[in-house]
Structure 1
Amino acid sequence: MNSKTLIFLALAATFLSFTTSFGQKNSQSGEFNPKNDLLLVQFDCKTDVDDLHTVAALATLLTDSNFSTLNYHAIAGTYGIQEGLYVPPNDLFQLAFGNNWTDAHDKSEAAVEKVKLIVQATLNRQGDIWIAEAGQSDFTALLIKAIQKDLPQINTTQRIHVVQHSDWNENSTSPERLQFVKENAHYQKIPDGNAVGNGTSGFRDPDFTNWKEEIKDPDLFEIWQLSTDLSNQYNGKEGRYNNEAVAAGGLDFSDLSEVCWILGLQDIRDTEYFFNLYGN
């Protein structure tokens, strides 16, 4: 048996374990129930372009048959108190998610009202809310307050689960809102998704430059192409954060580590592993 066959069998075994465990008990994140629960993926898009790559990676994950019926909603512009310019993501969000996303940039109150209705529908059918914070907790705080006002009978510390992986994101959140979220939700801080081998998926790789060879689906290819084009257009420009992995021609979708954690896929070690599983 040659080495390529061994690698294929290892990947197949890992993938089988993912598909059979999805929706079952995950001792680290709790239990995400794909039949009832809602996944909110909140992107700050300010000022790092890594969110753009994360959008493409999330869209890639959602095309897998195991997640094609996942109840999710994406939100753009959920930034906190950080300085710097916004990275306009609307065309990419529309391409990746259709109408299943909300624009919170400069209109957080209207966005909270829209997302609140989606959240309430899930809570009313006994589902839980899982928030992957690809950004700060300010929007989450506003959303929880709105839910508590309209549905005071809901115990948000049990029904709303928040997953954060970044110290920088926490430090860029309004302190009082971060504290509110920690006290009024099931708040989980996981190891940083920018690193590999720390217990979560690590999806920041300056050397992974061959994504075009990995993506076979033409719709996904278009999403990745727009993602990388926008990233190159805005990375480090006009005072925005210069993401060195992106500047080197690589990829950074480190925020997807939170989604993998919630779905019980944290055994996906790194970028190469991700594309081996979902690129084709």
Structure 2
Amino acid sequence: MKKNLFLVILLTVLGISSNIFARPYFDKEKDLLLACFDLKPDEDDVHAAAALACMLQHPDLSGIQYFAVAGAYGIQNGKYIHTATPEFFNNLFGHKNKKWTDAHENRDQSVKKVRKLVKKTLKSGGKVFIQEAGQSDFTHDMLKALIEAGVDRNVIKSKVIVVQHSNWNEDKSDQTKLEWVKNNTYYVKIDDGNSPDNNTPGYNNKNTRFMTQALASENPNAKARSFWEQANKICKGWEASWENPTIANGGVDFSDCVENWWIFDLKDKTDSIAKFWERYVINKP
């Protein structure tokens, strides 16, 4: 009898543990991708935004709910890449204030707009996956506003998934705000997307062949080509306060997109730049 009782308790504990540690998966029917780009000071966000836009054009992600935020930066110094908005983001994601917002231009308005969208998603039973392609300050401010709007903290803890790959992004967040986000959301820290020698793809490479392929007139993916033409033009024309060495040498750095790789559970489909390029950038639509 005692043995049977012990087995029941053990199985119950294991069941609870598996639920706690089971990762959430993106439901294309009802979940929201919130892509937050700091665009300050590193030009890698220009490349990451272009790469994400290529993904959104593919049948893999066709029809998903998404919204982008430009200017979701923290306490870092350096210049905001203002030439990336509005034309570039309009081309990548759709019309401003419908599919993206500029938090650099008007932070309070952006917080309110995103809060409304997130609240609607949660109320409909969906989850919100936040691609933290920058710092967590904007996420903190938006979620605090969400609580003030009546959303329960427990819902945020279980239904808002924040994905971060960069130690630098964490270091340049307001630390009080970062700790709050870590404690009040489903916070996931994955390995750095700048390195090929860990558990995420290395989406940073100085090899010029990838940009050459994207820009080639023979590239059958005309939309992707236009995205990378704009990205390349912005980066070449930008007088950076800090110059990204990969981009300066003609390579590609969309390292923040390892967060999309994790969110959409792409695994070996895009576990290298070459595979990503074949699937999303130089593919025949």
After TM superposition, the score normalised by the length of structure 1 is 0.86
Q: Structure 2: how far apart are the matches of 1:29 and 1:242? A: 36
Instruction: Indicate conservation of the 8 Å contact 1:212/1:221, yes or no.
Output: no
Moved more, 97-106 or 205-214: 205-214
Tell me by how many angstroms 1:28 deviates: 7.3
* Corresponding residue number in structure 1 for 2:226: 222
* Corresponding residue number in structure 2 for 1:158: 158
Q: CA RMSD in A?
A: 1.7
Instruction: Indicate conservation of the 8 Å contact 2:203/2:272, yes or no.
Output: yes
Residue 122 (structure 1) aligned with residue 121 (structure 2): yes
Select which of 254, 275, 278 maps to 1:276.
278
SS in 2 for 1:40: strand
Q: Structure 2: how far apart are the matches of 1:38 and 1:152? A: 16
1:34-113 to 2 correspondences below 5 Å: 34-88=28-82, 89-90=84-85, 91-99=87-95, 100-113=99-112
Instruction: Indicate conservation of the 8 Å contact 2:26/2:264, yes or no.
Output: yes
SS in 1 for 2:224: helix
Q: Structure 1: how far apart are the matches of 2:209 and 2:234? A: 16
Residue 231 (structure 1) aligned with residue 230 (structure 2): no
Q: Structure 2: how far apart are the matches of 1:250 and 1:74? A: 24
SS in 1 for 2:104: coil
1:189-228 to 2 correspondences below 5 Å: 189-214=189-214, 215-228=219-232
Q: Structure 1: how far apart are the matches of 2:267 and 2:199? A: 7
Tell me by how many angstroms 1:29 deviates: 4.2
1:160-175 to 2 correspondences below 5 Å: 160-175=160-175
Tell me by how many angstroms 1:220 deviates: 1.9
Q: Work out the number of aligned pairs and report it.
A: 252
Q: Structure 2: how far apart are the matches of 1:29 and 1:60? A: 25
Instruction: Indicate conservation of the 8 Å contact 1:208/1:271, yes or no.
Output: no
Moved more, 187-196 or 144-153: 144-153
Structure 1 runs of 4+ with >4 Å offset: none
Change (3 A) 1:130 1:210: closer
Q: Structure 2: how far apart are the matches of 1:138 and 1:233? A: 28
Tell me by how many angstroms 1:136 deviates: 0.2
Change (3 A) 1:70 1:197: farther
**Superimposed CA distance per residue, residues 132-180 of structure 1 (whole angstroms, 9 cap, x where no aligned partner):** 1000000000011011111233521111110000000000000110011
Instruction: Indicate conservation of the 8 Å contact 1:38/1:128, yes or no.
Output: yes
Residue 31 (structure 1) aligned with residue 25 (structure 2): yes
Instruction: Indicate conservation of the 8 Å contact 1:196/1:269, yes or no.
Output: no
Change (3 A) 1:264 1:210: closer
Tell me by how many angstroms 1:56 deviates: 0.9
Larger radius of gyration: 2
Give the aligned residue type for 1:33. D
Instruction: Indicate conservation of the 8 Å contact 2:210/2:252, yes or no.
Output: no
After TM superposition, the score normalised by the length of structure 2 is 0.84
Q: Structure 2: how far apart are the matches of 1:83 and 1:33? A: 37
Q: Structure 2: how far apart are the matches of 1:225 and 1:29? A: 36
* Corresponding residue number in structure 2 for 1:6: none
Residue 144 (structure 1) aligned with residue 167 (structure 2): no
Tell me by how many angstroms 1:212 deviates: 4.0
SS in 2 for 1:255: helix
Change (3 A) 1:190 1:28: farther
Give the aligned residue type for 1:199. N
Q: Structure 1: how far apart are the matches of 2:23 and 2:163? A: 8
SS in 1 for 2:158: helix
